[in-house]
Every structure is written in C-alpha cells, then in structure tokens.
Amino acid sequence: MKKLGIFFTTRNNYDMLEDWLKTTDYEGFEVLNIDEDSTSEQKTLGKEICEKYNVKYMDREKRGFLNNVTTAYNYFKKLDIHWGFWLHHDCYPLTDKFFNKLNTLIVTNPLIEKFGLVGFNTYHTRPSIARYKSGLRSKEFLARAPLEPGDNWYRNPRDWFRTKADVNSSKFDKPFSVQTPAAFGLAFNLKLYEQVIEVTDDYHMMNTIDEIGFQFMYNNIYNLSIPYLHLAHEDEKKRDFNIPRVSSKHHEANNSGKYDSKEFNTDNKFFGKWGVSVLYDRWGIDYDNPRETFDLVKDNYKDTLLWDYYHHNPEQGPLKSFPEIVYEEDK
C-alpha cells in the first residue's frame, strides 16, 4: 500500500532532473514533476525526460512553492496518496530502500499523522557522503533551528563548532521534534497541509520550508526529524550542471538591511525571489538575526511552538522526543 508520492518542482534544470531519475531507485513510487515557468525549450526537454522515465509532467497552476504543494496534493489524493516527498534535484537517498522504509513508517505508525513536516539525516558534502558509503554512520544535518540558541541548525559539531545541539548524543537517537527539518529532502503531511497552511503567493522557492514550518508551529503542530534514515545533498553537483550555488551576497544584502526586492531577485533563471525578506515581512523574524528580531515580536507567538522553541536550550536535547515511532533504522 503506497501512501507516499515523490514530487519535484523544476525551473530550467531538467538535465539535473534526468540525472536524478537515471541514477536513483525510486522503487516504483509515483513521481510528479511540476514545472515552475521554465523557458519553452526547457519545458519541451522536461516533457521528453518525464515521458522517458514514466514521470507525470505538469505545468504549475500558480507561481510559487506553496502553491506547488497544493497542486501536488490535488494530483496525489486522486491516487489515495496523502504524503508527498519533495527534494532538491541534487538530493537523493543513501539508505537502501529509503522510500519503502518511509512508506512502511507512515502506514504502520498512526502517530505520524499528527506531524506536519518530516525530515531526515542529510549528508551535505561529498566527503561526508563518501564516509557513509564506506560504512560509517554519523548524524549530519537534521534540522533548521533559527529560534533557538546556536547557529540556526542542528548539525554535527565536528564541522560546525557553533552549533548548540549535540546531535551525537543519545538524546537525539529517537525521532524528535524540530522547528523545521533540514530542507534538502522532506515529507509533507498533505492532509494537514491542506487543512492548516495559509497558502501565499509571496514566495517562489527560497525560505518556503521555513514559512511552512513556522505555520505548523504557529498552529501547535510538531515537525519531526527521523535520525536514522539518510539522504545525501550533493550540493557540488550544481557546478556539474552550471547552476549557481546559493550565494552569500543575499545574506550580505540582508545583513545590511536592504530588504528592497532588487537585492533579492538576482537568480531569476533558477531560484526566483529570495525569501528572507518575505519571511521578515510576514513574521517579523530576520532569518540572519532570528533570536534578536523574534524578541521584538515574541508576544505575538505566546502559547505556540514558536514561543516554546525560542525558550528552549538545545544543549539539553530535543524539545520533545517520540520513541514510540518505530521504523527500520539504518545504523
């Protein structure tokens, strides 16, 4: 019983999508590609690639990732699929039979239906991916955590000394709540998304997972990280396909207080609008200075999970763990 569908949002990067489709075992799960206003030449290529690999191709209905998730669910629910797995084109499973294991987790754990977003442990560089393939297991990138003390992440302190969450601790061994999962590849509870999320056209792609995670937290719905199902995010692949990696110039503009859209719409070919300024306008939270700016608006978020995370110290472990969620661990 397949309750999980896989979907991509693609904008002028169909060579990378084909690379994923020909190198990744997607285990017979339904795959949907939503085109986000690519050029006509790229759309033609995308349709050919999707037909070649038995992938459903759709043009976007409304611009922006939050709308794309709605489009994906409108397609999947006709197939009785209520969970959607979205990932970057340079992100792929490392755990053998990843999609089947995730599907089994969904089918056999009724508690999972209470979570909004579900994420995984992501190896974020080619050296760390090589360590995994050599047989070594480690917790790498597990969550984004802008409201807590630290460096905005739950990630391995081996490489990131400013991170506060000791993800190597046994406290992080069981599925645990997070602000938002690491946003390279993650699963959406599409039923809850449809019921809870206020869809906005303000974003294109960047920072949309933060928006969705914040909305779930505002409605006191936990997001979850599964520490022993593993993904790779091979960001270096972008160079192979002449796609720019996200530039620090956006953060530099943000830190100088330049919220003018001209400072953030510089990668229109692939990424569209930069979302940091949108997040600030909607929530009053500057992602590059999150705790300082949240402090100014925190009274708006009392009695929500945003407030709870702001007052949580990740050095003590997760805000909440869920050991009752049982799955086949890749350890």
pLDDT tens, position by position, for the chain (331 residues)?
899 999 999 999 999 999 999 999 999 999 999 999 999 999 999 999 999 999 999 999 998 999 999 999 999 999 999 999 999 999 999 999 999 999 999 999 999 999 999 999 999 989 999 999 999 999 999 999 999 999 999 999 999 989 999 999 999 999 999 999 999 999 999 999 999 999 998 888 778 999 999 999 999 999 999 999 999 999 888 888 877 666 545 545 545 444 444 444 445 666 666 678 888 999 999 888 899 999 999 999 999 999 999 999 999 999 999 999 999 999 9
Per-residue tokens: 53: 């690999």
Pick the closest to residue 143 from 116, 177, 112 (CA basis): 177
CB atoms within 10 A of CB 130: 12
Q: Which amino acid is located at 125 in the chain?
A: T
Q: Are strands 83-87 and 4-10 parallel, antiparallel or unpaired?
A: parallel
pLDDT tens digits along 120-147: 999 998 999 999 999 999 999 999 999 9
Q: What are the extents of the domains in the chain?
A: 4-239
Q: Is 138 exposed, middle or buried (0-12, 13-18, 19+ CB in 10 A)?
A: middle
* Torsion sign (Cα): 242, 87, 56, 328: positive
Domain 4-239: assigned CATH number: 3.90.550.10
Burial tier of 269 (Cβ tally within 10 Å: 0-12, 13-18, 19+): middle
181: left (phi over 0), alpha (psi -120 to 50) or beta: beta
pTM of the model: 0.93
Distance of CA 211 to the CA centre of its chain: 11
For residue 188, list its beta bridge partners.
84, 117
Q: CB–CB of 195/220 below 8 Å? A: no
Q: What letters, b where the CB count within 10 A reaches 16 and e where it falls short, cover 289-304?
A: ebbebbeeebeebeee
